[in-house]
Chains A and B, each alone.
Chain A
Amino acid sequence: MQDITFSENGIWFAAVAKESNQVVIFDLRKEGKGAQVKQLEIGGTVQSIRWDYSGQYIAASGPGGLSIVQYTKSSKSWSDVLSVAVPATAVAWGPEAKSLVVVNADGEITVLSS
């Protein structure tokens, strides 16, 4: 495994294997095989995954860049929100998910916001 992350609300668990571009998402309210609810295909190898505090967004980052996917409760669907060519080995969500602070392998810190 490369990285694992729980959402704060206790609903989601996500995991990504080494050298993989696929993030597997589990709904912890379900049991057995039904718990694996989604496999996200990210545009490049993923090194780090992090849910925002509300559990609506997951950021997946790697040497090729960063993607953010949103879960919409009303339609129970996953949609790509953002994909940028900002390589990152680790990410951290800012307050209210209004920013993302990332670091890359060279130790450069980038703040993303709108």
Chain B
Amino acid sequence: MPKDWADAETIERFANLSNSEPLYPGSSSIALNADGTLALVGGTEGAVGIYLTAEKKVGESYNAGGPITAAVWATDVPLVATSLGEVKILGDKETSFKSHAGSAAALAVHPSGDIVASVGVDKSFVFYDVPNGKAVTQIYTTNRKTSSHNVLKFNREETSQLT
């Protein structure tokens, strides 16, 4: 067990420290930054906020233009995905990617903290270089050539470069 990690006794004593107002109806995603000070949350109306956990209030807020399906922190950069197929980098360098036909279902952050992947109901994956604000690659997994292969393998003929 890492040295200062919570033990079972600590967790047994978890209690409700604070409750916000109902901020974003229909929320199904929440992401905390590394030091736990900022919680990224968004709901079905497209409103997204960064909730300051210590001050118990919303800091920055945004409108993502569609119901939020996923929320992640790429190091200090907040990203959300919507059911309209968009993935958005929020904050100072706000950037939108119309990535998927249909809902953008999930986001995942690479351990480096700089690359994010989105997956859509269109069965494609898109990778984003977050520090440079670009979508790097879109990979479709429904090609009959790949249907008998592990869906996680890249098929170079299907890779298209996006600017």
Chain A contacts to B: CB under 8 angstroms:
47-48, 52, 54, 56-57, 68, 70, 79, 81-82, 84, 86, 89-114
Instruction: Tell me the nearest residue of chain A to B70, going by C-beta.
Output: A90
Chain B neighbourhood of A97, CB < 8 A: 5-6, 10-11
Q: How far is the CB of B15 from chain A (nearest CB, A)?
A: 7
Residues of B within 8 A of A104 (CB): 27
For the complex, give the distance between the alpha carbons of A82 and B9 in Å. 10
Q: Please classify the interface of chain B as helix (H, G, I), strand (E, B), loop, or mixed, using the class held by over half of its residues.
A: loop
B residues near A94, Cβ cutoff 8 Å:
32, 36, 53
Chain A residues near B36 (CB, 8 Å)? 94-95, 99, 101
Residues of B within 8 A of A (CB): 1-2, 4-6, 8, 10-32, 34-36, 39, 41, 43, 51, 53, 56
CA distance A84 to B56 in the complex (A): 21
Q: Which of A56, A102, A113 has the most CB of B within 10 A?
A: A113
Q: A96 near B6 (CB under 8 angstroms)?
A: yes
